[in-house]
Amino acid sequence: MQFSVTVLGSNSALPTSERNPTAQVLNVSERFFLIDCGEGTQMQMRKNHIRFTRINHVFISHLHGDHCFGLMGFISTLGLLGRTNDLHIYGHVDLEMVYRPQLNYFSKDLKFNVKFHIVNTEVSETVYEDNKIIVSSIPLKHRVPTCGYLFKEKNPELHINKSSVDYYNIPIKSIPLIKKGSDYIGEDGSLVPNHLLTKPARAARSYAFCSDTKYSEEIIPLIKDVDLLYHEATFLSDNENLAEKTHHSTARQAAQIAAKAKVKLLIIGHFSTRYKDMTLFEKEAREVFPATYLAREGATFDIPYLKD
Amino acid sequence: MQFSVTVLGSNSALPTSERNPTAQVLNVSERFFLIDCGEGTQMQMRKNHIRFTRINHVFISHLHGDHCFGLMGFISTLGLLGRTNDLHIYGHVDLEMVYRPQLNYFSKDLKFNVKFHIVNTEVSETVYEDNKIIVSSIPLKHRVPTCGYLFKEKNPELHINKSSVDYYNIPIKSIPLIKKGSDYIGEDGSLVPNHLLTKPARAARSYAFCSDTKYSEEIIPLIKDVDLLYHEATFLSDNENLAEKTHHSTARQAAQIAAKAKVKLLIIGHFSTRYKDMTLFEKEAREVFPATYLAREGATFDIPYLKD
């Protein structure tokens, strides 16, 4: 029951020799979700041993090149690998307008469909849902229409109270339904209410991805109490004016959002190329929110499965 | 008077964690020419300390993603760096059709013009010319319209015969014109013919870039005697049938072309991801053409300036 985020790129738009543009992979019980896809994402996936075939859903925050210029290469490679499953891409309405012509030109012979799903970046809405997870959009404030994504586990199963189950002599075949909340009804019609057989489910795990955005407290209700928050931190406070002007955030501002939303852990990234010493970002953010970590290429942040 | 090629990517289409898709930079006396631009080229340029601002001309062999998916990222970065000089891109007529809409969407606010120049991939023609170099196309045989490029130094200057110059008492200010082939005419009208004052110029240096193509002897007259030939070698001979089918070459075939064209040095690259041990390519090619080297990321091949 894994729930972990691997960082494939931590940098902002200008390339460096050490850092890559934004891309992350969320692993939910071996279902992989690609979040943003800057240039070189497919090479980063190779380096980090992420299997291309495991990715069926791609979420794009906005149409700036450092968040989507890796899409065509990634899709072309899926074609070369002989993929047949549909690929679903979520993003602003312009995404299909920009990429469909390229797909038609470069990838005429794909054996799978690329399905674009329009995300309204202005309001929070459910974007994707399956039996394990629900994904919703987080409207952000950037120079072009932008949204983050909130990934939240769905309905964790109730824990079985073993002594009660033994006491009431519940057959094993009835356990799965009881874990989902059903009462037990015996063959003689007798009923044992669910609350006598179970203990509360563990909390649903959650990850909020917020890039790119200027400081905005409007997102706080949407990301409240998440286990893990990624919030962009393009600048240090010495460039707070520049952050404001370019609709980006400072490390301190990211930490302030994390503190106000009472998240458990904060990852910061999207560092401006002007900075060479990334530990300064960590230092600045930790003054406000101690549980801050840097998005470094290849780093994996695991949200543990807590039984109680 | 440098004339050197730096390899930025040696791989074919499927990405590996070690190798990048095709891109090279030719340095002619500190004028840099970018040849193909696979995904991640701009990061490779950073790693190899190639200054983005020095590149004014980009030559694209064909519109397969592993040869052009880095273009948008590269151009966007030039914009962020504040470039104002025109950027010239040479390639098949479809290149502008595919990339102009992307430029219009992602790079509306560039302070420089991107000028596309149509290259006829069916016949060899002069593509670019300045006072130092002439670039012509090399028609290739691939699955889509494709051409290589021949870069040839223009008119190397004649060498001065110092003893003659002293003997005839030629003033220093007249030397530049004599190096270009002029006779000397004294103030009294006396004439000293050029051949008495000079020795033959060194040979013009040349580099031929040929990717992607199946084995074709039709290119031999165009690349005859070049100092340096890059010829793709996607497969080893064990997959010669696959090479034929996909319109690619084997290492042995690349070496055969090099031998028949009597080039001085051969670089092979565009290796299929199926191969892990690149030295097998070198071994196979060297059996036919000993002066073969592998296109490895970061490798620079320098064609020396020979005075005689």
Least-confidence region, from A116-125, A186-195, A292-301: A186-195
Across the interface, do A94 and B105 touch by the CB < 8 Å criterion? yes
Looking at domain A3-156+202-302, which CATH architecture does it have? 4-Layer Sandwich (3.60)
Q: What is the pLDDT of residue B251?
A: 98
- pLDDT < 50 stretches in chain B: none
Kindly tell me if the per-residue pLDDT of A13 is higher than 70: yes
- Rounded to the nearest 10 degrees, what angle do helices A251-260 and A279-286 cross at? 40
Q: What is the pLDDT of residues A60-118, one digit of tens each?
A: 999 999 999 999 999 999 999 999 999 999 999 999 999 999 999 999 999 999 999 99
Kindly tell me if the per-residue pLDDT of A306 is higher than 80: no
Q: What is the pLDDT of residue B283?
A: 98
Q: Tell me the average pLDDT across A29-58.
A: 96
Q: What is the pLDDT of residues A224-247, one digit of tens each?
A: 999 999 999 999 999 999 999 999
pLDDT class for A135, splitting at 50, 70, 90? very high
Across the interface, do A98 and B94 touch by the CB < 8 Å criterion? no
Shortest CA gap A125–chain B (Å):
26
The active-site residue out of A66, A225, A227, A302 is A66
Across the interface, do B46 and A77 touch by the CB < 8 Å criterion? no
User: Count of alpha carbons within 13 Å of A125, Cβ hemisphere only?
Assistant: 11
Report how far residue A269's alpha carbon sits from residue A250's, in angstroms, rounded to the nearest whole number: 10
Close Cβ partners of A78 (under 8 Å, ≥ 6 residues apart): A52, A53, A87, A110, A112
**What are the boundaries of each domain within chain B?**
3-156+202-302, 159-198
Angle at A37 between CA B61 and CA A26, to 5 degrees: 145
The active-site residue out of B36, B66, B212, B227 is B66
Q: What is the pLDDT of residue B202?
A: 84
Kindly tell me if the per-residue pLDDT of A267 is higher than 60: yes
Chain A residues in contact with B72 (beta carbon < 8 A): 65, 69
B221 touches B175 (CB < 8 A):
no
Q: Which amino acid is at A62?
A: H
Q: Which residues of A touch B (CB under 8 A)?
A: 13-17, 20, 39-40, 42-43, 46-47, 63-65, 69-70, 72-73, 76-77, 80-81, 94, 98, 101-102, 105-106
Kindly tell me if the per-residue pLDDT of A308 is higher than 70: no
Q: What is the pTM of this model?
A: 0.92
Report how far residue A175's alpha carbon sits from residue A168's, in angstroms, rounded to the nearest whole number: 12
Across the interface, do A72 and B81 touch by the CB < 8 Å criterion? no
Q: What is the pLDDT of residue B187?
A: 87
pLDDT class for A218, splitting at 50, 70, 90? very high
Q: What is the DSSP string of B240-264?
A: HHHHHHHT--BHHHHHHHHHHTT-S
B50 touches B31 (CB < 8 A):
no
Q: What is the pLDDT of residue A307?
A: 59
Give ipTM to 2 decimals. Answer: 0.91
Q: What is the pLDDT of residue B307?
A: 59
Structure tokens at B118: 């149509």
Who among A39, A65, A80 is closest to B40 (CB)? A39
A76 touches A46 (CB < 8 A):
no
Told to judge if B86 belongs to the known catalytic residues of this protein, a careful annotator would answer: no
Chain A residues in contact with B42 (beta carbon < 8 A): 15, 39
Kindly tell me if the per-residue pLDDT of A266 is higher than 60: yes
Report how far residue B224's alpha carbon sits from residue A5's, in angstroms, rounded to the nearest whole number: 54
Chain A residues in contact with B13 (beta carbon < 8 A): 76-77, 80
